[in-house]
Amino acid sequence: MSTTATSPVPGPGKSGQGKSGQATPQPDTNHKPAQSGKPVTWKLPVTLAVLAVVAFIFFGLLGPQGSAKFGVSSGGDFFQLPAIEVPAFLSGIVLSVILLVLAGYALALKANRNRRPPRWLPAVFTVIFVVAFLIWVVGGARTPSISLAGLIAGSVTLAVPIVFGSLSGVLCERAGVVNIAIEGQLLGGAFTAALVASLTHNPYAGLLAAAVAGALVSMVLALFSIKYVVNQIIVGVVLNVLVSGLTGFLFSTVMQSDKAKYNSPGRLPIIDIPVLSGIPVIGPILFKQSVVGYLMYVAVIVIWIGLFKTKWGLRVRAVGEHPQAADTLGIKVNATRFWNVTLGGAVAGIGGSFFTLVAIDSFTKEISGGRGFIALAAMILGRWNPIGAFFAALLFGFADNLQSIVTIIGTPVPSQFMAMLPYVVTVFAVAGLVGRSRPPAADGIPYVKG
Amino acid sequence: MQPSAVPATAQSGSLPGGPDESESLLRRIFTGNGIVTILAVLLALILGGLLIAMTDKVVASTAGYLFARPGDFFAAVWSAATSSYVALFQGAIFNPRGTGVAGQFAPLMETLTIATPLITAGLGVALAFRAGLFNIGAQGQIIMAGILASWVGFALHLPIGLHLLLVLVAGVIGGAVWGGIVGVLKARTGAHEVIVTIMFNYIALYFLRYLLDTKLFQRPGETTPISPILDPSAVYPLLFGSQYRLHLGFLLAIAATVFVSWLLNRSTIGFEFRAVGANPKAALTAGINVPRATVLVMTIAGGLAGLAGVAQVAGTEKVLTDGVAATYGFDAITVALLGRSSPWGTFAAGLLFGAFRAGAVQMQIQTGTPIDIVLVVQSLIVLFIAAPPLVRAIFGLNPRKKQAATAGKTKQAVTTGGAA
């Protein structure tokens, strides 16, 4: 029974209640206290070091001998850049040595001055690691050549629903409501978009209906978790099943009975902004998108500004961090939560319309295919910040896209492991191995006055 | 993401580790919770019936002259809904048109077969609930168990008895390890088990898909991802001969229920689990090793889900495919919630949902009602059970409403109190 006191578990009080990475200063018996009061752990430097050694062995020493070719320009660009061809072995060695230096720097900072590495370090490390990985994969492939422009454009496209889903998560959880129902919101949006667009012959009506459907799913979440104080995780899990059952049922009965009438929504047009879309690499991803794609950029920026630069955002975050205090100041806690969750659902619903109005022009069962859970992961990896979630979603879209490319060009890495990557990275993130991921303090706790 | 907020509401009404276990079944039925459970099931079935009627063609045509002859419309609604449910019942419990007594009871046997993995996986989820942990990972635990158990089953060739025992042990270990890792991560780093288990489900699924693509697991000469058939010595014996699929796994599910019931109510460890679930801070103060309890409960929960994986590969399917877990892992969550996280409640809920599953197949064949309606009814039941005030309001049980409100208040007080 007394083993808690003696066991080498970092911060026994913290682990006992599972408050993942709470910022409350915990006396850390293992390490010297840091200057700032927050404990500086070995986790990040050690993780970086392990990754760097892995990179050095696999991408460097065991790297492929050939060269990897990356096409930069696509046919439609208004000026052409030559393809980049790099020697795989040499660049593998060089990049992994840089990784080793970065990891060494982080270790030295921790060992000598007990300081955490600067904020740019993990980001730079990630980018270099991904580049080294890419060169290793392509260099070792049967056809060592891929279009970088296509890879990046495809990644952004695949990331669109994930970005919307993670924004929904951010909106809900910043206000203190856990949103496991992102998958259901995406699926509901996808189904409704297909149905309404088919009936009205207008994909824009479908887009609007998707937002409404997502909001409706969210309202159920809000109603049960706020009014009836049902555990939010339960409601989320059950809502996913409910939406999956409802859409599956209506798909089999209604949509299958008359496909032309109920399930042929037509696609949203791709809006090509002249000249700008011809810029190599970034042109197609920024200026050659569907409405949903442009809305994604708008939503990320608007939600970021809204949450961090406006009075509304301050209130939302106050409700998510310390509802009692917010209530004392006259903020209606539960109303704020209700409308935030609803708004989040609408955002996710729009993301769901991507499946049926942009990617494919019809609905099938389970078309969202677990992307709602990847979105949840992106939100966590992005530390409950819209911009962070956006880049995390891009990373996952990249992994998703690379997975299909890897299958085509034929490489030693099984595609299933690429598919696994987002989930593994997220486990590392919540376990605190790659930085701290701290949810809003009141996340998941119902608020009852008095 | 505060797990300390989970237990009080997770069991929606029944206090964790409350005395309801020792109460007689009859008394429980006549308490508020029993009525709410029945009404919730009823309400979900009515809503499901309306959904079936809404999409029915006869109903749609009679709706055209609704005001001229409303009787036709309501008759059509009634017949659409009831014919589906009658087919569901015939496919799940008793089929009067079956050949002989054996044929008539075949649906019941099928229900028990499908209920087997639901019960054991549901027990895994329920046990974790009682310790305040949200085990969404039964799906992944079933998969890992299926991988290990099937490999022992088709790759090793051992004498009868020993072989099956090894299959069983391998499967349980597979699930237990996969669940245990989550417990360790939770205890050591505070990583939230909901997120970790969701991610672990996908990691397990892709790992399974990878394995079914390798020589080690893919059946020789096959291009589809399917393993060799398990040795006859490695599969569960059938309970009532070859006419039914019901296998030894069902008896093991009963045994598992007895075990969990004993563990929770009679053992020291179980007491610790419940104490941690009720209030981790108080448990810590009382000298309970919370991290150890966390790891242990997740390991046992994973082992129970692993038993479901064994039932799949060594009982029902006899091969390993990437659909080995079907949706049993997710259904297990609803089973545990419906069973209010008590062992025998979970057992009963597993039987009910097993009946839904078995009956839905027959219903789809007979009336064309898609199987997905079961998901709708299932999730509605759980939603209603989780919100007793809503159910009481719908059925106009007003006198109870006030009590419910105060009961809700105290429950919320527990929740916020535990978290603050």
d(CA B107, CA A277): 62
CATH for B105-354, options being 1.10.3470, 1.20.120, 1.25.40, 3.40.190:
1.10.3470
Encode chain A (450 residues) as per-residue pLDDT tens digits: 333 333 333 333 333 333 343 343 444 334 433 344 456 677 778 888 888 888 888 887 877 777 777 777 665 566 667 777 778 788 888 888 898 998 888 888 888 888 777 878 877 888 888 888 888 877 777 777 777 778 888 889 889 999 999 999 999 999 999 999 999 999 999 999 999 999 999 999 999 999 999 999 999 999 999 988 888 888 998 999 999 999 999 999 888 888 888 888 888 888 888 878 777 777 778 888 889 999 999 999 999 999 999 999 999 999 999 999 999 999 999 999 999 999 999 999 999 999 999 988 899 998 988 899 889 988 988 889 999 999 889 888 888 888 777 777 766 677 888 788 888 888 887 777 655 567 888 888 888 876
Is residue A431 less than 8 Å (CB to CB) from chain B?
yes
- CB-nearest to A445 from B12, B290, B416 is B416
Which residue in B has a C-alpha nearest to residue A439's C-alpha?
Answer: B1
The closest CB to that of A230, out of B9, B409, B413, belongs to B9
Give CA–CA dist B41/A171, Å, rounded: 33
Q: Which candidate, B112, B103, B106, B14, places its Cα nearest to that of B353?
A: B112
Determine the pLDDT at residue A412: 67
Beta carbons of B10 and A234 less than 8 Å apart: yes
pLDDT, mean over chain B: 84
User: Nearest-CA distance from B376 to chain A in Å?
Assistant: 5
Which pLDDT does position A17 carry in this prediction?
A: 38
Q: Which two tokens stand for residue B224?
A: 């589809």
**Predicted pLDDT of residue A434:** 57
Least confident window among A415-424, B166-175, B312-321, B390-399: B390-399
Per-residue pLDDT, A2:
36
Whether A374 contacts A425, CB under 8 Å: no
Contact B210 A416 (CB under 8 A): yes
pLDDT in tens, B279-292: 888 999 999 999 99
pLDDT in the model for residue B305: 96
Q: What are the structural domain ranges in chain B?
A: 105-354
What was the pLDDT predicted at B10?
A: 39
Query: With an 8 Å Cβ cutoff, is A76 touching chain B?
Result: no
pLDDT of residue B407 exceeding 60: no
Chain B CA closest to residue A243: B376
Q: Closest approach of chain B CAs to the CA of A7, in angstroms?
A: 10
CA distance A176 to B140: 28
* Closest-approach residue (CA) in chain A for B290: A16
* Own/partner long-range contacts of A148-152 (Cβ < 8 Å, ≥24 apart): A148/A70, A148/A71, A148/A72, A148/A84, A148/A281, A149/A71, A149/A72, A149/A73, A149/A74, A149/A77, A149/A280, A149/A281, A149/A284, A150/A71, A150/A74, A151/A398, A151/A401, A151/A402, A151/A405, A152/A281, A152/A285, A152/A398
d(CA A402, CA A137): 10
pLDDT of amino acid A137: 79
pTM, entire model = 0.83
Confidence of residue B398 (pLDDT cuts 50, 70, 90): low
Mean pLDDT confidence for B154-168: 92
Question: Which residues on A lie below 8 Å from B289 (Cβ)?
Answer: 1, 3-4, 7
C-alpha neighbours within 13 Å on the C-beta side of residue B34: 10
Write down the pLDDT at residue B32: 59
Q: Starting at the edge strand that comes first in sequence, how are the strands of the sheet with A67-71 ordered?
A: A84-87, A67-71, A145-147
Residue at token pair 């050549």: A145
Nearest CA in chain B to A445: B5
Contacts of B3 in chain A (CB under 8 A): 17-18
pLDDT tens digits along B69-78: 888 888 888 8
pLDDT at A75: 59
Q: Do A228 and B291 touch (CB under 8 A)?
A: no
User: Residue B191 is nearest to which of A20, A230, A444, comparing CB atoms?
Assistant: A20
Residue of B nearest to A177 (CA): B1
Q: What is the pLDDT of residue A90?
A: 83
To the nearest whole Å, the CA of A333 is away from the closest chain B CA by 14
Shortest CA gap B384–chain A (Å)? 9
Of A7, A249, A377, the CB nearest to B373: A249
Q: Using an 8 Å CB-CB cutoff, list chain B residues near A253.
A: 55, 369-370
Which of B198, B210, B290 is opposite residue A414, by nearest beta carbon? B210
Query: How buried is residue A201: exposed, middle or buried, by Cβ count under 10 Å (0-12/13-18/19+)?
Result: exposed
User: How high is the pLDDT of residue B113?
Assistant: 93
* Cα–Cα distance for residue pair A206/A176, rounded to 1 Å: 30
Q: Looking at per-residue confidence, does A288 or B164 come out higher?
A: B164
Q: Which of B12, B190, B387 sits opposite A21 (nearest CB)?
A: B190
CA A416 to chain centre: 19
State whether residue A427 sits within 8 Å of chain B by CB: yes
Residues from chain A that touch B382, judged by Cβ atoms under 8 A, are 234, 238
Spell out which residues of chain B touch residue A252, defining contact as CB-CB under 8 Å.
370, 372
Q: Which residue has the tokens 């449910």?
A: B85
Closest residue in A to B381 (Cα–Cα): A238
Q: CB–CB of A165/A186 below 8 Å?
A: yes
Query: What is the model's pLDDT at position A38?
Result: 54
| Side-chain-facing half-sphere of A7: CA atoms under 13 Å | 17
* Contact between B288 and A15 using a beta-carbon 8 Å cutoff: no
Q: What is the pLDDT of residue B417?
A: 36
Which residues from A are below 8 Å from B273, CB to CB?
Answer: none
What three-state secondary structure class fits A264?
coil
Question: How far are the Cα atoms of B20, B22, B23, B262 from residue B26, in angstroms, in the given order?
Answer: 11, 12, 8, 21
- pLDDT of B174 strictly over 50: yes
Q: Which tokens sit at A132?
A: 């080294």
**Encoding tokens for residue A380?**
């966590």
